Structure 1
Amino acid sequence: MVASLATALVAAGIVWPRSTLSASFIGIQMGFVASALWRAALVIASLRPTPSSPKPSRWPRYTILAALHDEAAVVPQLIQRLSKIDYPRRQLEGFLVLEAHDQATINAAKAARRPGWLRILVVPPGAPQTKPRALNHALAFATGELLTIYDAEDEPDPGQLREAASRFAGQPQLGCLQAPLRIRRRNAELSTFLDRQFAFEYAALFEVNLPGMAKLNLPFPLGGTSNHLRTAALRRVGGWDAYNVTEDADLGFRLWSAGWRLGVLESPTWEAPPGALERWLPQRTRWLKGYMQTWGVHTRAPRALGRRGQLSLVMTLGAAIVSAASHAPTLAWLIVALMVALNIGMAPVVPLASFAVLAVGVIAAWMGCAAGAKRAGQDYRLTDMLAAPAYWSLLSLAFIHALWRLIVAPYAWDKTAHDAEIDAECTSVMTVDAGREAA
């Protein structure tokens, strides 16, 4: 579908270059306006209160999966955090899902002191070597009515499972609940440019966009961790796509296509920021590559999603891909226009309507980040707003890398490295802040 549209656009550009350029420019402007209106609608929708859920008459059996690869350094820390989960132990089971060749992580898991409900499960060798393949192997052993996934660096709110179980109890069509992911601060604050912008991006997504979409009864791409699922619903859709490097985003739309609904939780999961550019870029590359894969899969049979699902797919994954591709060129165009104008001593020859459309889009993005940051307890400053376009431009670098990786290595998993020392710094700050709030 995308290839056909691109081919048609190129052909039209050759035959009618001026008309095609004008039409494309108008289309881009309309897209910016639509995206801004979408963001504003989600901010408003997210303000709706979430109805309280009564405690279930019995606590259902719950399965926790944590798929780890080359995570020997953080295994003890993860086990310690999972041990704090507040849920009836008789109704709880967990698996550390480890790769057969990853002996270092296996040894670390065996050496660590684990609660009785948390076991080690080794995935036999095979391809593709991805997180969803490991999760599918573990799914065969899961006995819980409900199931959730955590990553190596996660620190879930101890009451998260109880909240999820209560929400599931009163809504039989609810297939999945996504917990908000929040970025922990390092050294008393999010001090680096990438850490801060990444945290605000997460805040806009998990504190505003997903809650807004859930309250509008729309499907959305799940986060890679802390999604709580009905095990029966997960099995009914065939588990995770082992070949999709954002299996979480794909799963949200597959559940919707099968008739299930999605919601969000209030109890968060804390994560460490990815860190420097050499860690951030592979992670973002994988996300964008997975978005492209998911877009390709679900646009083959869009009727399965229905109109609401199609709208959501376009405004989430589609918009994310197009935005990543256009941020840097748009910023470059503005800078060049300004520099040329200053050099010749004239006002920039840029249509006022174009500036207005761009300003509306930027303001809408700032609004989402500001609202999300407030809910996540983060400090969103004027300097962060002014620095945001530079961060958005980095997404164009990730887009180019993702497109290339999709062509040459579509199923390769660009793993995010986790640093136990940095994560411990973030944890200590979060713990201090929690203590202050409690006091």
Structure 2
Amino acid sequence: MAQVLSLKTAGAHPAPEAPRRYLGDVLVSSGRLAREQIDAALRAQRGQNSLLGTILVVEGLLSQDALTDALSEQSGLGRADLDTAPPDPILLQGVDPLVCLRLDAIPWRKRGGRLEIAIVNPANGPAAIAAFGPATLALASPDALRTTITRAFGARMRRHASHRCPKRLSCRSLVRSGFSRRKAALAIGLAGGILAAPLAALNIALAWLLVANLSNVVLRGVALATRLRRGPQPVASAPKLVDSRRLPRVSVLVPLWREARVAEQLLDALGAMEYPAPLLDIKLVLEEEDLTTRAAIDRCTLPPTIDIVTVPSGALRTKPLAMNYALPFCRGEVIGIYDAEDRPDPGQLRAIVHHLMDASPDVACVQGYLDFYNDRKNWMSRSFTIEYAVWFRVFLTGVQRLGLPIPLGGTTVFFRRRMLEEIGAWDAHNVTEDADLGMRLARFGYRCEMIPTTTLEEANCVGAAAWIGQRSRWNKGYALTWASHMRRPLRLWRDLGWKGFLSFQVLFLGSLTASAAIPFYWLTAFVALGLDVPVWAHVPPLMVWALLLTGATGSVLMITAANVGLRDRASRGRWGWTIAFLPLYWLLAAAAVYRALWEVFTDPFHWTKTEHGLDP
């Protein structure tokens, strides 16, 4: 049986003449805490958007169960033991689980013909009664209530997470998993056209590659010039007006799948974050069937700032679906993402929050820099490091300064929660949900800004196959994102404006095409050096030299950007030979594009897992 103390409210509010009892007074009078401890917590509360009870629990001065007992004594409400007496399933029919999570309340049972609601915070009582009907209230612990909500509504919440993104903007309504008649007809049509007129097909393909690469060169050249003209992103050092305001609560989502090897390292990195603990709400998002990661987490002692959210099993398993599922469990006004292997700068959260508080209202999110801690492991990790330095420190920074939408990274990106929810959160079916989200925010009139704070990751450097697998997922997501947003080109033009529309084409379709074109550029160069390729005799000489010129120009831009990015990164040592061999690295990128195009037809929603913790 549940332990229910006297419900003094009986569904009514306390008598007006009853003196109000403060939580601190209850804790002192009951001997749980000293007055000095309460006063210190109240002083800390003045600069935080946090409840007194939360501060006391996070600081280790009070257990969660002791806090619930004190709230029961303060409010006169009884206790609801949801573990031994779960809610009546009949009462949950038609109840919205998102409302339950927002209010931290759930219809519990009927006693004497009257509804009883289990609730965490007595202050939410009036809102819970307004949502579920006239009732008496009983207090439950936060963990027990959220576990109860998960058990009762997990399958329904998973379905909601998979369809949260609007259908017109999601790739789920664009393609079907596996081959279909439409895909087969398209493939047969393309193959038939190439076989019927191979030389014409070759020239058309080369012309398209030339146009796409030229567009890439122009955008990257302008972005590089903008970045060079204005210098690197300035790091804020002087105090600002925002420093005197109350800091918001920040929720951090950390999706995990088969990450037992890095679990301890992850918790160490999260524990080093320099942000007021009562305002930190970290959610480790685990898949129900991932027992090894769960066991690794269970072997560690989690602080009160870290909770586990378990995603119920289902056919679709992607990072964006897991984040959509976990989002309603978050308590923060700012929502951030980290990956399992991340080691963020300890001061990163405070820098990000201050940037958002100081930014204009249309700034929906900020993106930090990504870098690698195993940058000198081998040639592949060095090349990967150069690529990230170019992408985050040079090109994305330059594109953002041009006022163009940027494709976001999958980690170290933080959102204003209201705007994230307004646009439908993440597309659960898109395997590069981050890049898609950057474009969707822009379509809703919001901006994303780069911020000079760095998170270190583990470079995928254990072999070409693993690297190509990871990159093919990114490329496949780029292809799906382009096709999804281009279903209505005129509407996309209106949403982004002509500059945003053109940059979207270059960033997504142009990038894919440029990578796919790399073998053709190599072949063109060999032909120019005297290699006899009979079919190339039918390619106009002007086309050949134009391809060579754009390819050479693009290479010079990349080498220049690599030096700028490495300088900003304060890289020391000999990187010249790595830069010289980047063309070989780009051949791997071409292989990844061709694999991605194959998977668009065969398995568009498959999430190729990147293994972490392989490099000690």
Aligned to 2:422: 236
1:390 to 578, 581, 584: 584
Unpaired runs of at least 5, structure 1:
343-348, 425-439
What secondary structure does 1:93 align onto? strand
Say if 2:606 is the partner of 1:416. Answer: no
Structure 2 residue aligned with 1:262, among 448, 471, 476?
Answer: 448
Report the structure number with the largest CA radius of gyration.
2
How far 1:375 moved relative to its partner? Answer: 1.2
Partner of 2:345: 157
Amino acid at match of 1:330: Y
Q: Report the CA distance shift for 1:319/1:81 in structure 2 as closer, same or farther (over 3 A).
A: same
State the alpha-carbon separation in 1 of the partners of residues 586 and 554 from structure 2. Answer: 12
Shift of 1:278: 2.5
Instruction: Say if 1:289 and 1:403, in contact at 8 Å, map to a contact too.
Output: yes
Secondary structure, counterpart of 1:46 in structure 2: helix
The CA distance in 1 between the partners of 2:382 and 2:530, in whole Å, is: 29
Separation in 2, partners of 1:266, 1:243: 30
Question: How many Å apart are 1:24 and its aligned residue?
Answer: 5.7
Matches within 5 A, 1:29-428: 29-47=210-228, 48=230, 50=233, 52=236, 54=240, 55-56=242-243, 57-170=245-358, 171-185=360-374, 190-275=376-461, 276-301=463-488, 302-303=492-493, 304-335=495-526, 337-338=528-529, 340=531, 352-378=545-571, 379=573, 381-419=575-613, 422=615, 424=616
Q: How far off is 1:389 after superposition?
A: 1.1
Q: Residues 313-362 of structure 1, C-alpha deviation per residue, up to 9 Å, x if partnerless?
A: 112112221012111232133235535269xxxxxx89545433321111
Under a length normalisation based on structure 1, what TM-score does the superposition of the two structures give?
0.86
Shift of 1:217: 1.6
* Native 8 Å contact 1:174 1:261 kept in 2: yes
Q: CA deviation at 1:26?
A: 5.0
- Where 2:581 maps in the other structure, the secondary structure is helix
Number of equivalences: 411
Q: Shift of residue 11 of structure 1?
A: 6.5
Q: Does the 8 Å contact 2:251/2:282 carry over to 1?
A: yes
What is the CA-CA distance between 1:30 and the residue it aligns to?
4.2
Q: Which amino acid aligns with 1:402?
A: A
**Cα distance in 2 between the residues matched to 1:294 and 1:248:** 10
> Structure 2 length as normaliser, TM-score?
0.62
> What is the SS of the residue equivalent to 1:140?
helix
1:5, 1:208 → 2: CA distance?
Answer: 38
Post-superposition offset of 1:381? 3.2
| Aligned-partner Cα distance in 1 for 2:531–2:512 | 30
1:66 offset after TM fit, Å? 0.3
> Which one is further off, 320-329 or 32-41?
32-41
CA contact (8 A) 1:174 1:260 kept: yes
Q: Distance in 1 between matches of 2:191 and 2:447?
A: 36
Overall identity of the aligned pairs, in %: 33
User: Compared with structure 1, are the counterparts of its residues 108 and 169 closer, same or farther at alpha carbon in structure 2 (3 Å cutoff)?
Assistant: same
2:599 counterpart letter in structure 1: R
Q: Report the AA paired with residue 233 of structure 1.
A: M
8 A contact 2:281–2:332 mirrored in 1: yes
Q: Give, in whole Å, the separation in 2 of the partners of 1:197 and 1:335.
A: 24
Quick one: distance in 2 between partners of 1:250 and 1:293? 9
